[in-house]
Structure 1
């Protein structure tokens, strides 16, 4: 398995400057769609019901990156696959999580609040987590004498911070202002924008994978297993944390989905940013991991949501 993935590490994917621009616009559009749902009430909810929100944020920004790093240590994947997993874990929840939470009969208000707050927090937490865990992995890899593949990589926290602020901060600020000053229009366009953003992103991932179809088909059986386990650990981390702290069942479902659905589009944009990862680096593993995660977490999210729709939520007296 590792020998095959080592070949993937050195793969250069077909991705043009025009494609990168289109991906940036897509992510900005998705973030705008998330932002028009952000209301002052979400932050009031944090004050009124801090436990569920705090557990959800800790699950996303502390527990998931930690579990991911432990999984990497046990799995021993190749360098770019490992860094791809770390970057995915460092990203905030995806915009489809609110819909899946509603489908799963979870706490939609909590899900929306977590998405809103996590998106804002990600402008700092995503660069911080990737810099922290990424540097730790690079240091471990080089000390272990596994090779010199990662020597050229210097994880620049401030460059990534600048990029994330532009990608998330500006669209979110515009979305919040749009929602505040044009509430009637916001109500009309909110649902279509959310649906359209999901369709656009899925289409973009399909185009990316089809442009690199030979590489994708050659390594998908290996990447599939890694993403399957990684995503499963993300969902279990969210559910485990919510259960340990005895959150209501509906809140457990929301936290589980918010932790398991990651913004893989943001990860892809960061990977293709030449100021963060120089173009001469071969980062095939990172890209395939992020692209397939973007497909798989939708599948796993719908599956778990469907299973939960068939399971009755017990009364408070029945909750363990």
Structure 2
């Protein structure tokens, strides 16, 4: 995947717009909400920070990926969730409030965890290279990409609440339009190499998404987290911010390596298949469960008068 004006200039702007839109939807209460759902948040964050990098490392070794692609996979696994996870969770009838909380906390934690994972991957697969990785100076640029737009959005929401609420939808639509346009141009520019990219990392990225979604739901359920909260965790853990990963990989001031962007670029396309299928399953299974419970409730209400009369 080659660098161009589209990927090196417009892609970071797209990330900034997306993060600004996220900030417009956040309040301090979203961060405080974790205190009301400590188990769900703690389990999801542990899966995101600990299990996912380990899972991704296993896939990298299983598929024996080239070192640069291996680093790109680890970068993808370390990237936080994004607004797409919130959308899928909403459609699947998950706890969207928890999604927003996890997205907010993950975005903050990623400033520390993402450089750690990337630097370890660079050292492990490419050797300890001072020209790659995300050292202290480069971490400040990650902060600028991730946190500054979110902070601006939150400030605008706090000071101009009505304006922020009016702007949420237009900013979200604008970010989607710009993102689709940038990806479309990038795909067009790489049309001759797309099949090669899919052949290199297609199955690995697909498995990463499928297994991440499964872990995100199964582990919380095993630890007695509610069904809606587990759905939220599943999409938050299973859907990574591929746009952020591509931006970090391609940015001349950060990793400046086009090959490292390939896993995130392929993932950004293939992840819609398992995520969409799981969303459909959750939405329809939840609907059947609701119908069954309503029928049971009707039966109970029908027998209630006779029970009261016998008393």
- For the aligned pair, the TM-score class normalised by the smaller chain equals 0.7 to 0.9
For 1:93-108, list aligned pairs within 5 A: 93-108=81-96
- CA offsets 1:202-251 (integer angstroms, 9 cap, x no match): 32122111101101133424432221112112112212321221210111
Q: Which residue of 1 aligns with 2:25?
A: 37
Structure 2 residue 262 is matched with structure 1 residue 288? yes
2:46 is aligned, of 58, 81, 84, to 58
Q: 1:81-92 residue pairs with structure 2 within 5 A?
A: 81-92=69-80
Of 288-297 and 219-228, deviating more is 219-228
Partner of 2:203: 225
Deviation at 1:259, TM superposition (A): 0.6
Q: Which residue of 89, 97, 106 corresponds with 1:109?
A: 97
Deviations 1:15-66 (A, max 9, x none): 3245411111110000001111111221221112111111111111221111
1:68 counterpart (51, 56, 69): 56
Give the total of aligned pairs.
Answer: 290
Q: Which has the larger radius of gyration?
A: 2
Give, in whole Å, the separation in 1 of the partners of 2:249 and 2:113.
17
Task: Name the CA shift for 1:19/1:72 in 2 (closer, same or farther; >3 Å).
Answer: closer
Write the distance in 2 (CA, Å) between the matches of 1:300 and 1:203. 23
Look up the match of 2:150.
Answer: 172
SS in 2 for 1:275: coil
Which whole-Å deviations, capped at 9, do the CAs of 1:265-295 have from their partners, x for residues lacking one? 11111111223335xx6x43x2221112112
Q: Which has the higher helix share?
A: 2
Query: Alpha carbons of 1:156 and 1:188: their partners in 2 closer, same or farther (altered >3 Å)?
Result: closer
| Aligned partners of 2:242 and 2:264 also within 8 Å | yes
Change (3 A) 1:66 1:134: farther
- Is residue 249 of structure 2 the alignment partner of residue 271 of structure 1? yes
Q: Unaligned 5+ residue runs, structure 2?
A: 294-311
The match for 2:271 is 297
RMSD across aligned C-alpha pairs, in angstroms? 2.2
Q: Which residue of 1 aligns with 2:168?
A: 190
Report the Cα distance in structure 2 between the residues aligned to 1:218 and 1:207, rounded to whole angstroms. 18
Structure-1 residue corresponding to 2:224: 246
Normalising to structure 1: TM-score of the pair?
A: 0.84
Are the aligned partners of 2:68 and 2:126 in contact in 1 as well (CA < 8 Å)? Answer: no
Give, in angstroms, the shift of residue 164 of structure 1: 0.8
Q: Corresponding residue for 1:204?
A: 182
**TM-score for the superposition, normalised by structure 2:** 0.86
Alpha-carbon deviation of 1:84? Answer: 1.1
1-side partners of 2:134 and 2:105: how far apart?
24
Residues 187 and 277 from structure 1, CA distance in 2 versus in 1: closer, same or farther, beyond 3 angstroms? closer
